[in-house]
Structures are given as structure tokens and as C-alpha cells.
């Protein structure tokens, strides 16, 4: 059973569609296949994994870790629906400063691979949502950073989301001096 990896308009960022087995007992979903990731030169080592549960109208983001603790992420929603957004912070990328949005939902079971140098955030569109994250580096509080959610031209569905004071304190994109540099994966 393989995964389908479709590159988005942001280089190195992939929507992943799992093969789903469904029968009268329920469903079986493969969320990771090492060889599929390695075939695209993507990270296949996930030393830390966690999940969040959020209510409708919650916006989390836009988050990332700075070098040398920057990381790739694999995210997916196992309950509810979210509008996911990533923002390219990689200087020299043809998509620098651009964003990509996609709906991730439990019913579709799609996932998003987010390379280093992209900020990540999401907005909960269902009553609640459970998001799972795999990351390629351990959490490093002194490198945990973000961009203010409303400063990058992302068309969120709500102009007044429920958002943490920490996320509200992030710098505006125009004031952010990025430490990330684009490297095309071959």
C-alpha cells in the first residue's frame, strides 16, 4: 500500500493522499511509508510527534522553528476539518513570501508535508479538530517562532479568530528577517 505525494505550488511542500482500506469493520489508513518519502528526497526521520485538539474558530500559527533547530513537518487531521496554510520564508525561493492553503479533514484523510523554512498555521472550520504532527527535530523553546497570522495576505475565513496571546505577539511578515534559504531538493 503506497501513498500518493503531490507537490504543491510551494517547492518541497506536498499534499499526501493515503491509500485507504475500508470494509465492514471500519477503515485502515497508512500515514507514513519511508520509501515513498525517500523517493522524493523528503525527510523520513521523525524524532518527535504530538497532537492538538482545537474548537471551532481557533487559529493556530503561523509557527516554525529557526535554525539550527528548524524542522520538516508532516501534519494531518484525524477529527474534524481545518483550513491549513503554509507561508514560504525561504530567501531565494521562487515562491518566497507566498502562501498555500488546503483543507485537511478526517473524511478525506489527506496530509501535508511541510519542509524547513515554511511557517505553518491552521483554522478550525468544524465543531472541533484533532491535528497530528510529526517533526524532524526536537522542540527547542528558544528557536520556537512565528509570523503574525494576519500579516501575510492569507485569506482566513474569520477576521477575528480565537488565537493565543503568544501567536498575536509574533512579528509581522514585513518586519521579519528570515534565517531560511532556499535549496532545491533533487
The residues annotated with a catalytic role in the active site are 63, 133
- The upper half-sphere exposure of residue 144, i.e. CA atoms within 13 Å in the direction of its Cβ, equals 10
* Calpha distance 43→34 (Å, rounded): 9
Q: SS3 letters for 84-139?
A: EEEEECCECCCCCCCEEEEEEECCCCCEEEECCCEEEEEEECCCEEEEEEEECCCC
**Minimal CA–CA distance to 57: which of 147, 148, 132, 128?**
128
Give the angle subtended at the CA of 91 by the CAs of 166 and 155, to the nearest 5°: 50
Amino acid at each position: 500500500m503506497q501513498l500518493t505525494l503531490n507537490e504543491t505550488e510551494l517547492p518541497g511542500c506536498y499534499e499526501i493522499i493515503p491509500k485507504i482500506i475500508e470494509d465492514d469493520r471500519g477503515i485502515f489508513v497508512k500515514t507514513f511509508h519511508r520509501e515513498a518519502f525517500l523517493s522524493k528526497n523528503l525527510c523520513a526521520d521523525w524524532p518527535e510527534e504530538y497532537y492538538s485538539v482545537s474548537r471551532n474558530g481557533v487559529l493556530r500559527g503561523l509557527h516554525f522553528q529557526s535554525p539550527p533547530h528548524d524542522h520538516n513537518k508532516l501534519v494531518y487531521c484525524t477529527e474534524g476539518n481545518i483550513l491549513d496554510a503554509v507561508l514560504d520564508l525561504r530567501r531565494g525561493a521562487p515562491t518566497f513570501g507566498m502562501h498555500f492553503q488546503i483543507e485537511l479533514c478526517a473524511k478525506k484523510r489527506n496530509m501535508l508535508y511541510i519542509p524547513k523554512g515554511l511557517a505553518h498555521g491552521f483554522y478550525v472550520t468544524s465543531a472541533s479538530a484533532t491535528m497530528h504532527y510529526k517533526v524532524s527535530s526536537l522542540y527547542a523553546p528558544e528557536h520556537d517562532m512565528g509570523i503574525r497570522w494576519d500579516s501575510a495576505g492569507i485569506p482566513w475565513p474569520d477576521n477575528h479568530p480565537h488565537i493565543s496571546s503568544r501567536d498575536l505577539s509574533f512579528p509581522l511578515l514585513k518586519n521579519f528577517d528570515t534565517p531560511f534559504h532556499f535549496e532545491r531538493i533533487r
